[in-house]
Amino acid sequence: MRSTVATIDLDALAWNYHVLRARTQGVRMLAMVKANAYGHGMVGVSRVLQHLGVDMLGTAFVSEARVLRDAGITIPIIVLTQVEPHEADEAIALNLITVVGDVSQANALAQAARARNTTAEVHLYIDTGMSRDGVRPHDAVRTAELLQSTEGLRCTGICTHFATADDPHNPFMKEQLSTFERVVEQCAAAGCSFATVHAANTGALWQSSETHFSLVRPGLALYGYSSAEAHVATLRPVMRVSSNVVSLRRAWPGDTVSYGRRYILADEATIATVPIGYGDGYMRALTGSASCLIRGKRYPVVGTICMDEIMVNVGSDPVELGDEVVLLGTQALADRTGAIDLEELATWAGTIPYEITTAVSARVPRLFTGELASVAQSSSL
């Protein structure tokens, strides 16, 4: 295994799952595992979540759901982007729940289901303000009636997505919530009821229980992060990214480091090379701003970040070949403890935490640790 590795703490994942369960008592949970479980390893994480008792899993695409089914995942899976017509038959074959946001998609699913002499379970997707996918509120009742009267379809749910739930001070989420509630009421008045109503992503889940309805959709909170307003719940980071020092060289004032000669040494120092780069998801945008941990102490990442390597200025400290380097997470030693937080890393890169973890590429091995590691690695569930 490469020295560069993403360690996935499944004890932390289980802890976060139970924290979220306590927060949403009596409400079913759809755990978001799209984008390789936000970079944490979709199959292993999904196996653990199924073992813990999550009600459903959420993917973005049919192809992701296929991977889960092939891995032995049997619980309901919802595909939360609109399925393209050519994917309809596979969605039916894999027994997936799909969201529907237009009539042509509904027709493709119904036709595929009828060809298999079965029904396609769908949820009506309402666009309350994202302007991305879904039916506009004024078309909701008409579409709900169509879905519930179409042979081959079984419309069991209705949902929406909040645009600003990660910002507790933005009033737009309340506007979206009001619109969605009104649509649900209008559908009910027209005789269209739904067993499952869902809207709450991670941010909304913390903000208001009014958003919980009958199902919540936590994403990044499962992996240890949420909004600052959710500090009352102690979530535990699940991912830790580390590597090792593979080269040390002494450099002198005036020497330059890496592509473009962006970094010029002002003083004599040792430059440590670490085998991780933007090809692993350690973004080039971190150039000039990132730090890492070696022996519990912070050191600056210097020079342009390369595809496969970074360079670190360790001054004249006694760093040795093979020393562990932590790029994300905690490094706890006998005499000191340091940490690189996900929010901090995202700030350095000028992005959001979601992009940092999902960017960790497939060539970085995921090492599952904790009491549930055997569940993550097992193909017999």
State residue 232's pLDDT score.
53
Q: Which of 222, 248, 264 is the last residue of a domain?
A: 222
Asked whether residue 286 falls in the same domain as residue 213, the answer is no
Q: Which of 222, 248, 266 is the last residue of a domain?
A: 222
State residue 228's pLDDT score.
54
Please, which contacts does 16-21 make with residues 24 or more away whose CB atoms are closer than 8 Å? 16/221, 16/222, 16/223, 16/224, 16/235, 16/236, 16/238, 17/49, 17/52, 17/54, 17/222, 19/233, 19/234, 19/235, 20/205, 20/216, 20/218, 20/221, 20/222
Among the options 34, 38, 125, 299, which is catalytic?
Answer: 34
Asked whether residue 280 falls in the same domain as residue 170, the answer is no
Burial of 199: CB neighbours in 10 Å, binned 0-12, 13-18, 19+: buried
Mean pLDDT by 10 residues, the chain (381 residues): 95 97 95 98 98 98 98 98 96 98 95 98 98 96 97 98 93 97 98 97 93 97 78 84 98 98 97 98 98 97 98 98 98 86 96 97 97 85 45
DSSP lists the bridge partners of residue 154 as 121
259 tagged catalytic: yes
State residue 378's pLDDT score.
78
Q: At 358, which CATH number?
A: 2.40.37.10
Asked whether residue 341 falls in the same domain as residue 193, the answer is no
Asked whether residue 55 falls in the same domain as residue 99, the answer is yes
State residue 381's pLDDT score.
45
Domain span at residue 55?
11-222
DSSP lists the bridge partners of residue 97 as 78
Among the options 174, 225, 259, 263, which is catalytic?
Answer: 259
State residue 335's pLDDT score.
77
Number of domains in the chain: 2
State residue 88's pLDDT score.
97
State residue 374's pLDDT score.
95
Say what the pTM is.
0.95
Asked whether residue 210 falls in the same domain as residue 270, the answer is no
Asked whether residue 176 falls in the same domain as residue 314, the answer is no
34 tagged catalytic: yes
Q: Which of 165, 187, 222 is the last residue of a domain?
A: 222
